[in-house]
């Protein structure tokens, strides 16, 4: 199993899960890069997975499906205009011989879901490296609850978030925990990677427990304070 990023827009990652000549695409916000990648690597698209309805995650679905008719599209109810397999908390399904578990991870959107494939987590905009998504719903409890679900996962689980926000997130984390040497070292490492244009993802749950202030927030009130501070950063 091979998982590769396709860069889209200014900072999106569209993840491609590959098994031999077969592929699954996660959150295709645009089609051009996906179609070019599939053609270049001679991959047969077997499914599309969606975490939520925002255009930068679903904007390429229609064009991709036009090129690959009858492709199953899995997504939460809020993506029902595009998805032909509606998924929700507690669901499990199998693709390419791998089992996918569905978690509701709302807050960023009302119906946001994350998908766990063995030790690979596709979390859309619910969790970033050193950060989490903006709470557009205003439901901070839902976003906080989502973070608690992530904390229960094994440390080895890889985090395939949908945006390259790590550098800015770590700058914020350093501003609130300036004496945290682990965060300082992580920021130095990420600065070096970004100078080379290298992705900072995937991260791991274990790493995020050490560098992500939102995962270490002990109460809902602490989380809200952090999230609002990050919005102003």
Ligand-binding annotation for 41, yes or no, is: no
How many Cβ atoms are within 10 Å of 185's Cβ, its own excluded?
A: 12
Ligand-binding annotation for 85, yes or no, is: no
Ligand-binding annotation for 163, yes or no, is: yes
Angle between helices 181-195 and 166-176 (to 10 degrees): 150
As beta bridge partners, residue 99 has 94
Tokens of 176: 């609130």
Angle at CA of residue 214, ends 209 and 220, nearest 5°: 125
As beta bridge partners, residue 98 has 95
Question: Could you give the CA distance from residue 141 to residue 151 in angstroms, rounded to a whole number?
Answer: 15
* Residue 45 backbone phi and psi in degrees, to 5: -70, 125
| Max Cα-Cα span within the chain | 54
Ligand-binding annotation for 42, yes or no, is: no
Ligand-binding annotation for 11, yes or no, is: no
Ligand-binding annotation for 52, yes or no, is: yes
| Binding-site annotation, residues | 52, 54, 56-57, 108, 125, 163
> What are the binding residues for Zn(2+)?
52, 54, 56-57, 108, 125, 163
């Amino acid at each position: 199993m091979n998982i590769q990023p396709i860069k889209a827009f200014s900072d999106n990652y569209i993840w491609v899960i590959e098994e031999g000549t077969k592929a699954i695409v996660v959150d295709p916000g645009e089609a051009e890069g996906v179609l070019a990648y599939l053609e270049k690597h001679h991959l047969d698209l077997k499914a599309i997975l969606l975490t939520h309805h925002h255009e930068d995650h679903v904007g390429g679905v229609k064009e991709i499906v036009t090129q690959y008719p009858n492709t199953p599209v899995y997504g939460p109810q809020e993506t029902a205009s595009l998805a032909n397999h509606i998924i929700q908390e507690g669901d499990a399904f199998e693709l390419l011989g791998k089992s996918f578990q569905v978690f509701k991870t709302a807050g960023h959107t009302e119906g946001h879901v994350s998908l766990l494939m063995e030790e690979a987590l596709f979390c859309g905009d619910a969790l970033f490296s050193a950060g989490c998504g903006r709470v557009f719903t205003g439901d901070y409890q839902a976003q906080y609850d989502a973070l608690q679900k992530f904390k229960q996962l094994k440390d080895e689980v890889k985090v395939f978030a949908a945006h390259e926000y790590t550098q800015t997130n770590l700058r914020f984390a350093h501003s609130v925990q300036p004496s945290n040497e682990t965060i300082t070292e992580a920021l130095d490492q990420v600065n070096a990677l970004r100078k080379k244009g290298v992705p900072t993802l995937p991260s791991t749950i274990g790493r995020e427990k050490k560098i992500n202030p939102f995962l270490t927030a002990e109460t809902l009130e602490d989380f809200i304070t952090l999230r609002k501070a990050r919005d102003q950063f």
